[in-house]
Structure 1
Amino acid sequence: MNYFMACPEPGMGTWYFEVDAEGVAYRQIVVEEDGSWVTSNQKHEQYHFMLAEHPIDLDDPYYENIAKTQFEELWSRSLQATMEKWQKIKSILPVGMKIEGEIEAFFPQGTLVNLFKQQAVGLADTAELSKTSPPEKMYPRHKLTATVKGYDEVNQWVVLEHAYMV
């Protein structure tokens, strides 16, 4: 993975990215001018799930290389801010529990699922979901059911298995 920062323009804060060798973003942090944060792992009221939609040109001088440790330190600070909520989510969504939700977004890691009742984000395997779902239902707001498989501690997502559209 590669790590970058950029300052798009005055008033837009500082943007941090974790990208793969092709420039595809996996995690993103925006530190706003007022000190607030927007992270790609949590749904934001205004920005939804913010993650670069197109690969980043790794050779573009607009993006400044940063150390992985710098990115991880910021990411860790963002996770700490939501740790109490994350621990509660894990306690109410044990492994093996059947859940319902709806498709929220598609990320490189998989399909993000809004688990409304628990106010949590689930992660389903997009390839597996595609095998059991008609293409016309592979869009945001379509409902699905799944089973809790485990937890993605890096993103504070509930990992799902046996997901299928309802």
Structure 2
Amino acid sequence: MIYLCACEEPELGTYYFETDQDGVALRQIVIEEDGSRVTSHRKHELYHFMLAEHPIDLSDPSYERIPKARFEELWSEVLLATMEEWRQIKQALPIGQKVAGSIEAFFPQGTLVDLFEHRAVGLADTAFLKQHSPREWMYPGYKLTASVKGYDEINQWVLLDQTRMLDGERRVVER
């Protein structure tokens, strides 16, 4: 993995990335000027799920390589702030539990799913969903069911298995 820091504009905050060897971002932290943090592992009310959409040019001089320990220190601070909520989510969603949700976003790790009854983020296998669902259902808002197969402690995501799209049903978002 490669760890980067970028501070391109003073009013945009400082960006930290974990990428693979091709520059594909896997985790991202933004520390805004006021000290607040936006991370890729949780949905933000303004920025949704924030993760670089295109590979980062690793030769771009505006990105400075940083030690893994620095990135992990910042990431751990974020996880600690939500540790009690994460503990409650795992208690409410034991392995084997059936869940319902809707597609939120597509990340390199898989499809992020809003498990709305539990205020949790699930992770489904995108390749499996694509293979077993019509293409037109592979968009944010489409509903699915699944079983809990485990937990991603690094991102505080619920790992999903046995996913099944619900016949093109979409979640209605009230505004």
Note whether the superposition's TM-score is higher than 0.5: yes
Aligned AA for 1:100?
A
TM-score (norm 2): 0.94
Identity of aligned residues (%): 67
Q: The residue matched to 1:11 in structure 2 has which SS?
A: helix
- Cα separation, 2, equivalents of 1:62 and 1:99: 42
Q: Deviations over 1:85-115 (max 9, x none)?
A: 0000000000001100000000000000000
Q: What TM-score, normalized by structure 1, do the two folds share?
A: 0.99
Can you list the C-alpha shifts for 1:4-30, whole angstroms capped at 9, x where unaligned?
000120111110000011100000000
Residue of structure 2 equivalent to 1:24: 24
Alignment partner, residue 103 of structure 2: 103
Partner of 2:145 in structure 1?
145
Query: What letter is aligned with 1:129?
Result: L
Q: Is 1:15 the counterpart of 2:20 in the alignment?
A: no
Matches within 5 A, 1:17-166: 17-166=17-166
Q: Could you list the structure 1 runs, at least 4 aligned residues long, displaced by more than 6 angstroms after superposition.
A: none
* Secondary structure of 1:77's aligned partner: helix
Cα distance in 1 for partners of 2:10, 2:130 equals: 41
Which residue identity is paired with 1:117?
E
Structure 1: gaps of 5 or more residues: none
Q: Which whole-Å CA distance do the structure 2 matches of 1:95 and 1:146 have between them?
A: 11
Q: How far apart are 1:73 and its partner, in Å?
A: 0.5
